[in-house]
Structures are given as structure tokens and as C-alpha cells.
Chain A
Amino acid sequence: MNLRQKLLLLLSLTVAVVVLAVAWTVLVRIRLVFEQRDQQETALFVSQFQREFQHRSDEVAAAVDRMAASERVRGMAFELAQSGDPSQYVNEAQTLAQESQLDFLEIVGPDGKIVSSAQWPARFGYPEPAAIQTAATFLKREDLPDGSAVLGIFAVRTLRSGTESELRLVAGKRLDQSFLADLPVVPGMLIGLYSDSMSAAAATSPASFDPKLLIAPAGEVPGADRYQSLIDSARRSGQQTSGILYLNGQRGDSVNATAIPLKDDTGNVLAVLTVAISRENMIEAQQHIRAIAYGVASGGILLAILASLWIAARVSRPIEQLARAAEQVAAGNWETTVPERKRVRGRDEVDVLASGFNHMTAQLAAQRDRLVQSERVAAWRELARRLAHELKNPLFPLQLTVENLVRARELPAAQFDEVFRESTQTLSMEIANLKSIIARFSDFSKMPKPLLERIDAKDIVERARFLYEAAGQNEAKIRFNVELSSEPMPLDADPELLHRALSNLLLNAIDAMTEGGTLTISAEPRDDLVEIRVADTGAGLTPEECERLFTPYYTTKQHGTGLGLAIVQSVVADHAGTIAVESPPEGGAVFVITLPKASEA
């Protein structure tokens, strides 16, 4: 992954994360605000509903008050007090309840027994415990002749017709579907009533939840089973309980529901009134806002990616140019420069870097030129020194011979002839020596180009051993040890130049082992290379010698020219190979030549 891609990825990720974080925060905040408002609205609606519920309770109380104040009931109370015979009023409650539009009415005599009952006419003569209620209105589960029980809002009024005798009216309205239907609801509000149909006497403990018992004004409550937890909680705790209910698993069909326990005077929960307000509108608004947020976020991310592309390209282009320029410099093209941007105002770091790079390459080129110049001067000095050294040795005998010859001219002819002959021989030898020195220098300067052909490294090694093994064993008692791999080691190389380089190394090794030793030549393939090692057991080299060994004209020998290893290095380099020297502290030196292995094909 290059810099531009990294920059693009980093910028895109950064912007995307930021955009998503902002979008998420906004959405969460909006959801919280919506839910808070929804809960407030629900609480308001529930409060209004409770007021309306109380208003209906007050209406029941008012109806009972009106009934109690009617002439008919007052007359009945008077006559009952006078006659003491309640039997004639056994059907009176039904008529009175019908006239007052009440569902329940029981006329209870002074003895606390029912004189007449509208909802269960056959109950006359039985006691009615609710007759002693003091609350203005209260809830009561009323048993019916068919064995069922219904919930009602009741009120009790007492009529005194004498000092002791009194008549009580226990009247109420049924809390059922029609009652729920009369209650005002706002759009989206659904009210329900959960009440056990079991009679009060039979209901010793709260029965398990039955969804069919939850009724709405229009009949069944959709998703009634979802209300179970809320209703059970309200029934257990006796406290108003609220929560969000998902009616069919979808968010859009959820409601904000409140379960209001309806209790009797002893605190027993007789029924639970549920007020559910649809969250559909809120969810739709949320989804609309979410869709907008997602659209904005997506657009933002897309724009961010495009901007990142532009920024990455703008930032990375000069760096890429710098990188390419650095690669060219590394490849030896020191004249490489990078274009510098012309800015009207200010310069950034990349401009400084480009300028510095160009300055650096210019400096490097200048320094290289100076170094080449100084090296050239140094080389000429070294060459001059070496030449002076090499030429001084034969010149001194030449001078002495010439001076001796001049002095010998005064000698007798026979002696002169003898001296002349000896002197001319010496002069010839020294001149030949001078020619040899000049030839070696000439050879170094005229290193030929390698003529490549397919050879095997084994052949080169065997040829060198064949040539020098006998000489080494005879002159210095050197034992030759050759280790060759059985695998083929093909090379595209000039056999003569390689032989010459290897011969140089073998001769150096033989020279290093004046007291004898072991000369090991090995060749083996290493991946796509062929490694040729020449190891001796001589005195070894110092680290400094190892470092300077391949420098032309450097030698550790008394009479060396310092060109042998330089020629070896030149040959190896011409074959795209490398040469290195290792010298362990215990002695000996190992020259390692690595050459690229030719392809098998």
C-alpha cells in the first residue's frame, strides 16, 4: 500500500468515523427527545383520562344523589319505615335503575339486607356489605346471577326517614366495553380494561393472565398478550406501571402503555385499566429523520472520500516525486532533481523538503565530483608513489652498474670486458624487470570485457587445482582440499577471466602459507547463486587489512604490486558477482566469491 492509498484510507476512515459518530449522536439525542416528549404526552393523556374517569365516577355519584332526592325514593323510604314490609318493593330497584340509567342498584334496608336488587333481583333478603361504604365512589366487583362478576363504579347514599330507620341506595355503573366506549380518547389512543370474570367470592387469589379478558371499546385488544407483563406488574404492585410494548415485534406498531390498577376500598386490585398511545407517528418521524441523517452521512462520507482523494493526491504527489528521485539517486543518478512548486505566499514542509532534496543532490553531485577528482589525484599519487617505488629498485642497480662501467673504463681491457659483460647482463636484467613492471601496469589498465559462455563452476575449480596443486605441494608442502557439490552449478561467465581470478587467489593463498598448510577450494550452489570459497590456514589478516585488501595498489607483500586482488574484484564485478574476505581470529583467510547461477534452460 503506497502513501497515497494510506493517506486516502486514513482520511476517509477519519472522516467516516467522525460523520458516523456525529450522526449517531444526533440520532440518539433525537430518539431520547422524542421518547421524552412521547412519555410526557402519554403522561398528559393518562392524566386527562384519569380526570375523565373520575368525572364519570362523579356522574355516578350525582345520579345516585338525584335518585336519593327523588320523591319516589323518599316516599318508598317513608312507607318502608311505616309498614316495615319490604316485599312490595322487590322489583323497585329495576325500575329506578332503568330510569336513572344505572346498571346497578340495590336498595338496602335498615337491617343491612337487600330489599330490592336491579342486577340480581333474587338477592332480596341477603346482606349487602357495600352498603356501609363511606367513600363518595368506589370500585366493586359485582356478582351476577349467571355466576360471572363484572366491575362497576359504585356510590352509596343513605336516606333517613326517622330517628333510626334508614334506607341505603347502592348504585353504580358497569365498567365494561360501553363504559370504555363513552370515554373520550385522542386519535391513536387505545384504552382497555382487564378484569377477572371470576366472582369476588371465588377469586381467592389473582388468576394467571388471560388475554381474552382484556377488552377494548371495540372488542378485543390487538396484541393483548403483549400487555401481560405490564398488567401483571400493576396487579402485583398495585401501582401505576408504564412501558413500551411491541405489539407484533415491529417498532412501528409499538405503543406507550400505562397500566392503572383499579382497587377496591381494601386496596385489592380488581381490574387494570390500560391506556395505550400509539408510537407510530413518533416512529415515522424518527425514521424520516434517520433517513435524512443517513443520507447526509452517506453524502458526507462520499464527499469526504472525494476530498480525501484530492488531498491525498496533493499531499503525496511531491512525496512520490521525492521518493522516485531518491530511488534514482540511490541508483547513482545524482543529478536527479524534483520540481519545486512556486507559491505566492509561504512554503510548506514539502516545499522545504523538495528544495532541500534538490540542494542535497546538487551538493552530493558536487561532492562526488570533488571526491572523484581527489580520488583521481590520490590514485595518481599512489600510482606515482608505486611507480616510483617499483622503478626505484631497478634504477638503483642500473645507476650502480653504469657508474661501475664508467669506472671500469680505466681498467685493463680484459678486466673491462669482464666488467662490461657483467654490467650489460645486469642492465639487461634490470631493463627486463622494468619492462615487466610496466607490463603489469599495462595489463591492469587493459582489463578485457568478459566473453560469456555456459560453464560449470566445477570445471573452473578443477582447472585451477590441476594447475597449482603440484606446485603447492612441492614448494611449500601445501595440501589441497577440494569440496565440490554434486549438483550442477552452471555459470554464464568468461572461463579465462575466472581462471585468472581464481589463480590469483590460489597464488595469494600459497604465498600466505610459507610454512605449509591446507588450501581448501569449495563450490556449492546457494539458491540462485554459486558460492566459491578459497580458504587457507595461513597467518590471517587484520580487520584493517580485510577492509583495504581490494583497494588497487594495496598489498601486504614485500614485492606485490597491489593489483592482484583488484583485478579479482574487477573480474567478479564484471560477472555481476561479489567477493568478500573473512579472517577468523585463530588465523587463516577465506575468500568468498558469489556468482549468479545461470538458468537451467
Chain B
Amino acid sequence: MPNLPALLAGDEYLIANDPGGNIGTGPFQLNGFKDAVLTLSANDNCWQGRPFVDSVEIRVHRSIRDQWLDISVGSADLVDVPAEQLRKAHEQRLTVLQSPPVLLLALSVSSSGTLGNPDLRAAIALAVDRGALSNVIFQKQGEVTASLLPGTLTGYSFLFPAERDLNKSHEKHGGLTPPPLTLAAEGGSTMQLAAQRIALNLREAGFNVRVVAAGGAQPADLALRTLPLASSQPRTALESILRGADVQTPVLEQTPDGLFRVEREFLDAHTLIPLLYLPRAYAVGGRVRDLRLSTDGTPLLAGAALQDTP
């Protein structure tokens, strides 16, 4: 496999344990998690060299407003900014680092049970209103897509129609009365809202969809999830997305035509419906210097530095 090193570098293959008790092999090691604070410390033995920042504290379960307040008062140096909050972050004049679209928002469709009928899956794909998701829920920060890879990587994304076609959806639906479907959404309130919107779209197409919590005992018929674009290389990125969609077949095609065919064949099954590409974004504190984002949108903390406060 020519891309074996890239695969092994993926998060899922992260070697996370060492005899010294610290967890992690990267620039930072996990020290502990206490009082909703995740503490990372600089790894002196990192193969890339010790980072400039000595330690990183990640505070979880804090509202966006509090996080932004922390940035303003200097008690935080880096906070996550969800795509739908980007506009507000700019309005509040926060320093925002924003990646290109690197997160694929997609609807995973079960191919068994009621949705074993490909026409019903096709009807679902045609019924979803991507524009409403992008323009309203994600505040125009996402790119509408019907392809797995963004157009910036492949150039053929426009060949996959992303418009909603309710009439055609009804045709595919064929007047059937399927039993109620369940839709689970991974993530926070915005993902839940997006799931509700999709359920509403599908209701118009004749489906009775109920939004349920993710991780339930019964697997949901539909799942709204985000798949990270792991690489700027189309084939590797496609492979990582397919792997995220539980397709383990390696992508052997190298050319855009080949990748298009792979995508087309996969998407024609309508088991994964691409919806949007979203960026990753972070609000950065005033004392942070030289922070950049990697190709998958994660911050490169190892290269960042903090200016001493007077």
C-alpha cells in the first residue's frame, strides 16, 4: 500500500501509552483530566522536538459565550469556534483562525431494514435541503456539496447535483408508507437542529422521521455525522472519508476520473449523503504567536508561542 504511512499517521492509530505514565507521543502528552480541565504538558522527547508552550489546559463544557469571555480577559488563549458561530465571532472582533472546508457533514443512511430499498434512500437524498442547512443553521459558513471530496481538491464536485428536488423525491418514494425512521445526530445543539431540519425535509417527502439521541441501544436508520478530511491528497482524503463511513476498501485510483468513478459508485448507493463542507475555526488570544492550522484544520500547537504578559 503506497499510502500506508499516511494511514498509520491517522488518529485512529495513535500510540497513546508509554511506560513513563504520560499518554501520547506527539508534542504534548496527556497529564490528566480533573474538574472539567484536560491538562497537556510539553513532551520533551517528541521526535519533532519539544514545543515552545509548556502546557495546555483544555476546559470543556463551557458555553461559547464563556469561552469568548475567557479569550477577552486573557484566561484562555485558544477556543474552538463552531462554524455557525463564525459570524458572531467576527462581529465580536475576535481573532479567528479559520481553515478551509475540512469537515464533511453527511447523512449516513442504513442499507438494511426499511431503507434496504435503494429508491427510498434516493428519495431521502433528493429531499434534503442543503441550502437551508448551509445558509441558516451554519450561517453561510459551509459549502454545499453532494460529493465526498470538496471541489477545491477534485474540481469535479459540481457534477454531483446538490439541489433539493422534492418532486423527484416523491417519485422515488413511490407513495410508499414506510414505518417511522429514526435519525441520530452526533454533536451539539447545532447538529441536533440540523437533524430536526432534515427530519422536517423528509417529512415533506413522505417519511416519518423521529430524531433520537446518538449512541442508543438500537442503531438509528439515519445518522447525521461529520467526517474529517484527513489529508489534502484526494485519494488519501477519500480513503479516510470512506473509512469513516465504514467502507474499508482501499482506493487504488489515482486520477480524477478514477476518483470520480469511485465516488459516483459509492454515492449512487445513497448510504452516505454528503451535505456540507464546514471549516474548522478557532478564536486566538492576544498573546498567542505563530499559531497555524494544519491541512485538516487542527491547530499546530507545537509551532505556537505565547507572549509573556507584563
Contact = CB atoms under 8 A, between A and B. Distances in A.
B301 interface: no
Contacts of A122: 193-194, 196-197, 199-200
B211 interface: yes
A121 B194 CA distance: 9
Contact of B136 (A124, A145, A147): A124
Contacts of A145: 196, 199-200, 211
Nearest to A126: B200
A121 B199 CA distance: 12
B87 A88 contact: yes
Contact of A120 (B132, B135, B136, B196): B196
B266 to A, nearest CB: 28
Nearest to A87: B136
B135 A147 contact: no
Contacts of A125: 132, 136
Interface residues of B, number: 16
Contacts of A349: none
B139 interface: yes
Interface in B200-257: 200, 208, 210-211
A90 B140 CA distance: 12
Given A87-B139, A122-B193, A124-B136, A147 B200 contact: no
A123 interface: yes
A122 B200 CA distance: 7
A146 interface: yes
B79 interface: no
A85 to B, nearest CB: 9
A147 B197 CA distance: 13
Contacts of A146: 210-211
A286 to B, nearest CB: 53
Interface string A121-133: 1111110000000
A27 B197 CA distance: 67
B200 A123 contact: yes
Interface in A544-595: none
Interface residues of A, number: 14
A90 B137 contact: yes
Given A121-B193, A147-B210, A87 B200 contact: no
B196 A147 contact: no
A529 B139 CA distance: 132
A578 B40 CA distance: 146
B210 A87 contact: no
A121 B87 contact: no
Interface string B134-158: 0111011000000000000000000
A145 B200 CA distance: 8
A514 B92 CA distance: 166
Nearest to A147: B210
A465 B199 CA distance: 135
A88 B139 contact: yes
A300 B199 CA distance: 79
A86 B199 CA distance: 21
B214 to A, nearest CB: 16
Contacts of B132: 124-125
Contacts of A88: 87, 139
A252 to B, nearest CB: 46
A290 to B, nearest CB: 58
A126 B197 CA distance: 11
Contacts of B208: 147
Contacts of B87: 88
A83 to B, nearest CB: 12
Contacts of B139: 87-88, 90
Contacts of B140: 87
Interface string B69-95: 000000000000000000100000000
Nearest to A120: B196
A198 to B, nearest CB: 13
B135 A87 contact: yes
Contacts of A86: 136
A123 B199 CA distance: 10
Contacts of B136: 86-87, 90, 124-125
A86 B136 CA distance: 8
Contacts of A120: 196
A123 B132 CA distance: 10
A145 B196 CA distance: 7
A121 B196 contact: yes
Contacts of A121: 193, 196
Contacts of B210: 146-147
Nearest to B201: A122
A146 B139 CA distance: 25
Nearest to B137: A90
Interface string A59-98: 0000000000000000000000000001110100000000
Nearest to B133: A122
A122 B203 CA distance: 12
A82 to B, nearest CB: 15
Nearest to A122: B196
Q: Which 7 A-B pairs have the closest CB atoms?
A: A122-B196, A122-B197, A87-B136, A90-B136, A122-B200, A87-B135, A145-B196
Given A90-B137, A120-B196, A124-B136, 8 more contacts: A87-B139, A121-B196, A122-B200, A123-B200, A125-B132, A125-B136, A145-B200, A147-B208
Interface of A: 86-88, 90, 120-126, 145-147
Interface of B: 87, 132, 135-137, 139-140, 193-194, 196-197, 199-200, 208, 210-211
10 contacts: A86-B136, A87-B135, A88-B87, A121-B193, A122-B197, A122-B200, A124-B136, A145-B199, A145-B200, A146-B211
